[in-house]
Homo-oligomer: A and B are copies of this chain.
């Protein structure tokens, strides 16, 4: 197993990425191909005593930033570490690719450099989100702000395959449609049409699900257009952050509240583990021809290591072959080109 890793993506690049890659070599025995400024990487590794055993480096002089236009990954920044990694993936020099860099650029780059699976009209970003009953997948969570019903049906197929094969041990997973109520008639034109398609899809369709019920695991796979999916994702993060911050402030008030914290601390582990996105190891980008994992922008070495593990599981799972078989285009249907954001 050889995983290609963008050494210059994310808030803590390149040092934490290099460390995470070394951890993955050590723990899982993978080979790694890092993309980025080779000299700098070698110097940092030496300086911090990080072993580069089983780690190759593909030199890439440029870096794409969070504020660069996504499409610049194909033009102005075509020599960046992310584009280099995607090209190497497309060329078969690794089994999967991990980046903690710009989400928009990664979607754009993967779509045009790795290319979509035949029959897939759009790639979707599909993070695993915390719930009281284990992670669920939210697909799409931001790659496609405007969606057609057929795209939501494809998201459902892709998400089901991933959740079943990578996390579910092959079990039949449930699919819910994000909506403003659970009754069949709820929502707008997009939801009505998607509901009808999902009902006839042969998937384990659980009907409409409300955002309120997502944190208590309304379904294993929640299908949404990228706009409302992104709102759901970020509202969960924002609400959890504010509440946990508030709570931290309460525990830090005085000596008595600090004592209280010590008393509950052993029991907080479950809560922290549930909310810890670094455990789940990033979001797969589903619909492209090779496994691509978007690690969280704030990933540190352990999160990078986990993302590399998940990338390997994705590669081994056969999900991509499954998607190719599931979404064969209807006779005469053309795969439309992706919009340049």
Contact = CB atoms under 8 A, between A and B. Distances in A.
Interface of A: 67, 131-132, 142, 145-146, 178, 180, 183, 185, 187-189, 191, 210-216, 226-228, 230-244, 246-247, 250-251, 253, 256-257, 259-261, 263-264, 267-268, 270-271, 274, 341
Contacts of A268: 250
B235 A211 contact: yes
B238 A211 contact: yes
B146 A188 contact: yes
A231 B267 contact: no
B188 A227 contact: yes
Contacts of A185: 341
Nearest to A256: B263
Contact of A180 (B187, B226, B236): B226
A271 B259 contact: no
A250 B267 contact: yes
Given A251-B264, A267-B257, A236 B234 contact: no
B178 A231 contact: yes
Contacts of A238: 210-216
B231 A250 contact: no
A6 to B, nearest CB: 21
Nearest to A257: B264
14 contacts: A145-B188, A146-B189, A178-B231, A180-B230, A211-B231, A212-B241, A214-B238, A215-B241, A239-B240, A246-B271, A247-B271, A260-B260, A260-B264, A263-B263
Contacts of A263: 256-257, 259-260, 263
